[in-house]
């Protein structure tokens, strides 16, 4: 049983060595260990604070990006509206110009038709007059082929003409 129950001397020396070791550890090891733990805790706190700041900055940047994106969309929509308005104005102007040009061409065509009509009427009148002269000439030649008929015609004209 002597192996299981320790003696007083052994307990004394074990307790003394334990206390001495405890004092040595307290003087030399615990302060550096606690200091390094404190330093580690501070660095972890700083890292957490920096992570929180980075998170806030990212949220601010994200909000700024979303605002810029919204502004860009707004500007794009405005530019599209202006482009559509300009296109509509250009189309309207082209329609007006085309309508005016069509009116001018129509008026020129009417004037040309009227001139052609007048020229055709003048030509018909000239042709009718020429035909009348030709018919009259042929008739006169046939009737005046005889000298007695010529004398008779001259006499008739002289009766119709009165001298003043």
pLDDT band at 164 (very low <50, low <70, confident <90, very high): very low
Which residue do the tokens 């320790």 mark?
Answer: 6
pLDDT band at 26 (very low <50, low <70, confident <90, very high): confident
| Cβ 143 vs Cβ 152: under 8 Å | no
Residue 2 clears pLDDT 90, i.e. is over it: no
Residue 1 clears pLDDT 80, i.e. is over it: no
pLDDT digits (tens, 9 = 90+) for 72-114: 999 999 999 999 999 999 999 999 999 999 999 999 999 999 9
Say how far apart CA 74 and CA 121 lie, in whole Å. 69
């Amino acid at each position: 049983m002597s192996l299981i129950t320790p003696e007083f001397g052994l307990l004394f020396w074990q307790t003394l060595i334990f206390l001495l070791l405890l004092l040595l550890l307290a003087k030399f090891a615990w302060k550096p260990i606690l200091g390094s733990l404190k330093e580690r805790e501070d660095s972890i706190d700083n890292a957490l604070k920096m992570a929180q700041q980075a998170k806030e900055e990212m949220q601010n940047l994200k909000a700024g990006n979303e605002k810029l994106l919204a502004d860009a969309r707004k500007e794009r929509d405005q530019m599209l509206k202006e482009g559509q308005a300009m296109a509509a104005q250009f189309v309207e102007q082209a329609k007006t110009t085309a309508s005016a040009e069509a009116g001018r061409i129509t008026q020129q065509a009417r004037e040309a038709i009227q001139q052609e009509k007048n020229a055709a009427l003048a030509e018909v009148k000239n042709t009718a007059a020429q035909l009348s002269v030709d018919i009259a000439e042929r008739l006169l030649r046939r009737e005046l082929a005889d000298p007695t008929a010529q004398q008779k015609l001259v006499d008739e004209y002289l009766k119709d003409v009165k001298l003043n």
